[in-house]
A and B are shown apart, each in its own frame.
Chain A
Amino acid sequence: MTDKSKQTPLVDLRNISISFGGIKAVDGVSLDLYPGEVVGLLGHNGAGKSTLSKILSGAYEADSGEIWINGKRADIRSPRDARDHNIETIYQTLALADNLDAASNLFLGRELVNRWGMVDDSRMESETRKIMARLNPNFKKLKEPVSALSGGQRQSVAIARAVYFNARILIMDEPTAALGVHETAMVADLIKELKSQGLGIFLISHDTREMMELCDRVSVMKNGQLIGTENVADVTEDDILSMIIMGKNPRAEVA
């Protein structure tokens, strides 16, 4: 995607590092993301994918490195800051309050209020109905606490929350982990739709085949370090797998 070098990246992560008690969870990683692009993050468990995405979503503050959004240095210190930059995240853990219903979770931190400043549950429920009808037509349990929902239904609540607020940058950390075949296909369609609307998406998944289908570029991480980033069109699934396993970029040596 050579034409992209002229565009301003939506997200430009430069030399990001963070450690937890001596363990370098993310070690000098640089990544970028363009509008309408899906960038996949691959790597073994513990490679640092979730931690890196949490730095962008404001859950963690990097020890060093810079985040640039739309060509401007961004100071993201909290989830609120990230939201202000139109960054939405589907966390691997889903980050749902189990005792609240779908609407309360969807709007958590951004409740709709009426003119007296009181939370408007009816309007939130109605909005939730609308978006769920689009994302998961089988979703019916709107008034139940989300602890009563199946894994797939919980996942759709988390996805709905990220999609509802018109994100420009979307981070999806293993969004299909708890889903069946049919629901996974629906998420894939959703990703394509959002991509066509010009969103930039960081997608984390273990399913290499799915990543080859959905992503424009994939980045492989191991032990907190970036092994390499490749255009999907230029590599085979085996190339990617060997990057993940060996922790080396075979193409880098050729070039």
Chain B
Amino acid sequence: MTDTATPKTTAAKGRREGRIAQFLHATEIDTRLLGMIGALLLIWVGFHFFGLYKNGFGAFLTPRNLWNLSVQTSSIGIMATGMVLVIVTRNIDLSVGSILGFCAILMGVLQVKILPQYLGIGHPAIWMLAVLAGIIVGSLVGGFQGVLIAYGKIPAFIVTLGGLLVWRGAAFLVARGETISPVDSTFALLGGGPYGAVGSTGSWIVGLIACAAIIYFVISGRARRQRFGFHVRPIWAEYVMGALACGIVIGAVLLVNAYPWPIGIVRQYAEANNIVLPESGLFISHGFAIPILILVGVGLAMTVLMTRTRFGRYVFAIGGNPEAAKLAGINTQWMTVKIFALMGGLAGLSAVVASARLGSATNALGTLDELYVIAAAVIGGTSLAGGVGTIYGAILGAFVMQSLQTGMVLVGFDAAMQQIIVGSVLVLAVYLDNQYRARAK
């Protein structure tokens, strides 16, 4: 999976000779990706031991915390994948947090006040209609902004800055500032929680399918390259890469399965299903939370979109040279509309996850999210100069942002300190990225 259109960043070799360099060269691992994972682990371990030192227990590296981290990252992560396309094409979208709030409140009103009148409370179509409505409204709002940018020739910064205010205001007007709750019970599962997770068996199934897919792609990718007579990795490197990827997947399964339901939920569940609780209690695993599976699904779909479709190729081309893209016959204006519509649709999907997690919809949902989403994309290596960015980078960036946030809460930093640190990390990350790119050249 190294033959994508994004610039290769494996060229930092030469400086560090020796085994590590050889290993990286043979496996064609993206060293920038490695750096990001390293930074993430450093944050995790750092907060864990800082907590251990300061409070007497390290609360970070626990199944419970990491599971919660995955749920909390989902909403920002989903939007960050769309922000990559926006930023790669040299635009910006400041309105995503407000679109999220607007979609959330619309979905809330729809499923709590409108649909039950016609379908009855708890009707299974309610959650589907609500989700559909949220995504469609988000896409329309985004697409509308895209039209103003592409055909109205108003800078994206201005259009979406306006959108930031307009959609937040509109979100208030929909329910006059009321909080809408509780959301439909099936809808609520999309936000995670003990019932909103796929359990132990489900997680193993997901994990094994993922491993099978990894093995398939390693083998088929190698066969394809051989068929065309291209350079292939040494066979041991293929094994290492395959094993590493499968190992990470299985590790994740073990982790989410190691986080049991709290005793209260277990009791409730046992009562509802007429199970006699044994003396020692029952160990029921959470397994993967539904929102993280949504994020993974979105991440995969967006990666395919960016690296395997014409659409994705045009996104990069527009970012690299808009003039050249036009001369190659690409309808850059319509592309811009589609990109913003996609961004809006993802904000709608994030609204599903965020309001489901909360169990209610408020007009303030998603406030300041645009900044975290942009920060996630940028920390993940998306260049504001355009033309460069990856989906996995943005998702990792979202994890970095959320890990910082969670970690600081766990060790007891106050809100002011949190803001200072998050802001500084953003600036530092971009500085380091620039340094890295300059060297890789």
Binds B, one of A104-112, A203-211, A226-234: A104-112
B308 at the interface (CB under 8 A from A): yes
Q: Is the CB of B324 within 8 A of A145?
A: no
Closest chain B CB from A213 CB (angstroms): 29
- A99 engages B388 (CB within 8 Å): yes
- The count of chain B contact residues (Cβ–Cβ below 8 Å) is 35
Query: Using an 8 Å CB-CB cutoff, how does the interface string of A128-158 with B read, 1 for contact, 0 for none?
Result: 0000000000000001110010000000000
State A122–B220 Cα separation when bound (angstroms).
Answer: 12
Among A79, A80, A95, A119, the residue within 8 A (CB) of B321 is A95
The interface residues of chain A lying within 8 Å CB-to-CB of B324 are 94-97, 105, 108
- Please report the C-alpha to C-alpha distance between residue A94 and residue B321 in the assembled complex, in whole angstroms: 11
* Contact assessment for B3 and A97 in the assembled complex, using a CB-CB cutoff below 8 Å: no
If A79-B327, A95-B321 touch, does A122 touch B228 (CB 8 Å cutoff)? yes
Our pick among B6, B229, B310, B330 for the contact of A119 (Cβ within 8 Å) is B310
Q: Please indicate which of the listed interface residues B308, B314, B329 has the most CB atoms of chain A within 10 Å of its own CB.
A: B329
For residue A98, CB closer than 8 A to chain B, the reply is yes
Q: How far is it, in angstroms, between the C-alpha of A121 and the C-alpha of B221 when the chains are bound?
A: 11
Given the complex of chains A and B, what is the CA–CA distance between A107 and B325 in angstroms?
11
Within 8 Å by CB of A126, from B228, B304, B313, lies: B228
Q: Which of B224, B230, B387 is the one whose CB lies under 8 Å from A98?
A: B387
A249 in the interface (beta carbon within 8 A)? no
Please name all residues of chain A whose beta carbon is closer than 8 Å to the beta carbon of B325 when the two chains form the complex: 97, 108
Q: Which of B8, B230, B319, B329 contacts A78 (CB 8 A)?
A: B329
Contact between A95 and B317, CB atoms less than 8 A apart:
no
Q: A234 → chain B, closest Cβ, in Å? A: 36
Which chain B residues numbered 376 to 395 have a C-beta less than 8 Å away from chain A? 387-388
> What A residues does B304 contact at CB under 8 A?
118
A interface bracket (residues with beta carbon within 8 Å of B): 35 or more
Of A57, A104, A113, A126, the contact of B5 (CB 8 Å cutoff): A104
Restricting to A51-106, which residues have a CB under 8 Å from any CB of B?
57, 59, 78-80, 83, 89, 91, 93-101, 104-105
Are A99's CB and B323's CB within 8 A? no
A105 to B317, CA, bound (A): 8
Q: When chains A and B are docked, how far (Å) is the Cα of A117 from the Cα of B314? A: 15
Taken together as a complex, chains A and B put the C-alpha atoms of A143 and B230 apart, in Å, by 11
Inter-chain contact A122/B224, CB cutoff 8 Å: yes
* Interface residue ranges of B90-145 to A (CB < 8 Å): none
Instruction: Confirm or deny: A32 has a beta carbon within 8 angstroms of a beta carbon on chain B.
Output: no
Closest chain A CB from B219 CB (angstroms)? 15
* B328 surroundings in chain A (CB, below 8 A): 79, 95, 108-110
Q: Which residues of chain B have C-beta atoms less than 8 A from A143's C-beta?
A: 3, 8
CB pair A98–B320 under 8 Å, yes or no, is yes
In-complex Cβ contact of A91 among B227, B308, B327, B330 (8 A): B327
Hey, which chain B residues are within 8 Å of A125, CB to CB? 3, 228, 230
B278 at the interface (CB under 8 A from A): no
The answer to the question of A123 belonging to the interface, with a C-beta cut-off of 8 Å to chain B, is yes
Cβ of A79: which chain B residues have Cβ within 8 Å of it?
326-329
**A113 touching B228 in the complex, CB below 8 Å, given contacts A93-B323, A98-B321, A108-B324:** no
Contact B330 A122 (CB under 8 A): no
Q: A113-B310, A122-B225 are in contact. Are A97 and B387 (CB under 8 A)?
A: yes
Query: Shortest CB–CB separation between residue A58 and chain B, in angstroms?
Result: 8
Q: A125 CA to B230 CA in the complex, in Å?
A: 9
Q: Interface on A for B, CB 8 Å cutoff?
A: 57, 59, 78-80, 83, 89, 91, 93-101, 104-105, 108-111, 113, 117-119, 121-123, 125-126, 143-145, 148
Question: What residues make up the interface of B, taking CB atoms closer than 8 Å to A?
Answer: 3-8, 224-225, 227-230, 304, 308-310, 312-314, 316-317, 319-321, 323-330, 387-388, 441
If A96-B321, A105-B324 are given as contacts, then 7 extra A-B residue pairs at C-beta distance below 8 Å, sorted by A number, are A57-B327, A95-B324, A99-B388, A108-B325, A119-B309, A122-B224, A122-B230
CB<8 Å pairs between A and B, sample of 14:
A59-B326, A91-B327, A93-B323, A97-B316, A98-B321, A99-B388, A100-B5, A108-B313, A108-B317, A108-B330, A110-B328, A121-B4, A126-B229, A145-B7
